[in-house]
A and B are shown apart, each in its own frame.
Chain A
Amino acid sequence: MQTISTVKKAILTAVCIALCVVLPQAFHAIPNAGSIYLPMHIPVLLCGLICGWPFGLLCGLAGPLLSSLFTGMPPAAYLPPMAVECAAYGCVSGILTRFVRTKNTYADLYICLIGAMLSGRVIAGLARALIFAGGSYSMAAWATGYFVTGLPGIVIQLVLLPVIVSALMRAGLIPARYPEVRSDG
């Protein structure tokens, strides 16, 4: 099976971190777009899916940090919970990609994506309840914040990420997960 070199993984991670700053800018004309369309989650999940968990984790931590420093969003006060959430997405999507193998690229992608999106939300909710907003964070606030407000973003991620991965595979920019075996003659 083809693999990606560590140097290429590092540069792809750098590009995904840069996209964490650039993509929210594309949505900036829409009020409150960050929490509705969740543009920063897309490169983080993609990084975890393509480069593996250590790079996904770094992307999840560094993406919100650089975005906060360059554009002010998320503001420093909201940065720690957001960094934990994104780090969980990058890390879990990378771990799942390593272990989930159904022999169908799209099935793998959806299992990893949904698994990462759910566990990332659970980890972020636990972090808020236990650390960042200890004692004043309720189940209703968690469900509203992570599932209701961000529903358009969740739909966008589920539709768009497999399309992007497929486009990248077709362009030869990342190796196919299950390369076709050609029989000569």
Chain B
Amino acid sequence: MNRLPAGLYQPGDSVVHRLDAAAKLLCLLLLLAAVVNTAAPAGYGVWVLLLALLIRLARIPPRTALASAAGLGWFFLLILLMNLCFYAPEQAWVSVWIFRPSSAGLLQGLRVAARVFLLLVMSNVLMVSTPPLALTGAFERLLSPLRFIGVPTELAAMILSVAIQFIPTLLEETDGIRKAQTARGARFDSPNLWEKGKAVLPLLAPVFVAAFQRADELSLAMEARGYRADIRRGRKKYPPFRACDWLALSLCAAAAVIFIIIR
């Protein structure tokens, strides 16, 4: 709790930073499709090289780019063990109670762990290289066709933008409450999982009350300044994609098509 989440924006002037946020979001979706459709182990080697190139182009320190995946060691281990022990019981090396480890299971575990790792790092590169407001604008732009079926996309984009801005504030608030609870004897750092769980629970009600107080203040301030959710606003003009945005989209689309075909 005493650190900000991994994917917070870091200002920069790299090629990746300068791409349009909506184009980056579309590129991420195409890359996700390509990664999910990668089956051969050599394909993952290619992805690691491409990802290293992307991180270099974005001029993000590797430590920052890998931060979201680095804290999930337990999760990767769990995926690996579950697949190893249960994926292909008919090809098991040995059978111990319900556990039937096999080389096919090990391969599948490595494949799933590699996919999750790649998806995490790609999402992280997008988040670190895109300002939150640009990302909200991108969501609004990509969702804008839904206006024709009556979905209030502007309100949804406003909600997302406020939510993103609330995250660091609420993390700080939660950390403050956690420290107050620690001073009263809560054991967040206990090696005992039950103790840890018990310590976290009393944190929840004060966190909600504090968060709702902030929401109350903000909504009052917005209403006092005349903000109305039910007013139909003029249509927003989005800047067209530039050549570099189209190039990035074409490269990602080509990667998605190639990996889907050679699957």
Contact = CB atoms under 8 A, between A and B. Distances in A.
Interface of A: 5-8, 10-15, 17-19, 21-23, 25-33, 37, 42-43, 46, 58, 62, 66, 68-73, 75-77, 152, 156, 160, 163-164, 167-168, 171, 173-174
A131 B218 CA distance: 40
Nearest to A34: B75
A180 to B, nearest CB: 21
A10 B200 contact: no
B8 A15 contact: no
Given A26-B203, A32-B78, A17 B219 contact: no
B115 A77 contact: yes
B207 interface: yes
Given A30-B200, A62-B159, 8 more contacts: A5-B223, A14-B160, A28-B1, A29-B196, A62-B160, A70-B6, A70-B7, A71-B68
Nearest to A4: B219
B159 A22 contact: no
Given A6-B230, A72-B69, A168-B208, A11 B215 contact: yes
Of residues A7, A22, A43, which shows the largest number of chain B Cβ atoms within 10 Å of its Cβ? A22
Given A7-B223, A14-B163, A27-B200, A73 B72 contact: yes
Nearest to A75: B116
Chain A interface main SS type:
helix
Contacts of A58: 156, 159
Contacts of B212: 12, 15, 168, 171, 173-174
B162 A25 contact: no
B74 A7 contact: no
Given A14-B166, A62-B160, A70 B223 contact: no
Contacts of B107: none
A25 B171 contact: yes
B57 to A, nearest CB: 20
B120 A15 contact: no
Contacts of A46: 208
Interface of B: 1, 5-8, 32, 36, 68-69, 71-72, 74-75, 78, 112, 115-116, 119-120, 123-124, 126-127, 155-156, 158-164, 166-167, 169-171, 174, 178, 188-189, 193, 196-197, 200-201, 203-205, 207-209, 211-216, 218-219, 222-223, 227-230
Nearest to A19: B211
Given A7-B219, A7-B222, A26 B124 contact: no
A109 to B, nearest CB: 15
B160 A17 contact: yes
Contact of A72 (B68, B193, B207): B68
Nearest to B223: A7
A8 B219 contact: yes
A69 B7 contact: yes
A160 B205 CA distance: 8
Contacts of B126: 69
B167 A22 contact: yes
B261 to A, nearest CB: 21
Nearest to B172: A22
B167 to A, nearest CB: 5
A31 B204 contact: no
Given A11-B222, A14-B215, A25-B1, A164 B119 contact: no
A160 B201 contact: yes
A136 to B, nearest CB: 11
Contact of A68 (B123, B163, B205, B211): B123
A27 to B, nearest CB: 6
B119 A71 contact: no
B201 A11 contact: no
A75 B115 CA distance: 10
Contacts of A76: 32, 116, 119-120, 123
Contacts of B115: 77
22 contacts: A5-B229, A7-B222, A8-B216, A10-B159, A12-B219, A14-B166, A17-B160, A18-B167, A21-B167, A27-B200, A62-B160, A71-B6, A72-B68, A72-B69, A72-B120, A72-B124, A75-B72, A75-B116, A152-B197, A160-B201, A167-B209, A174-B212
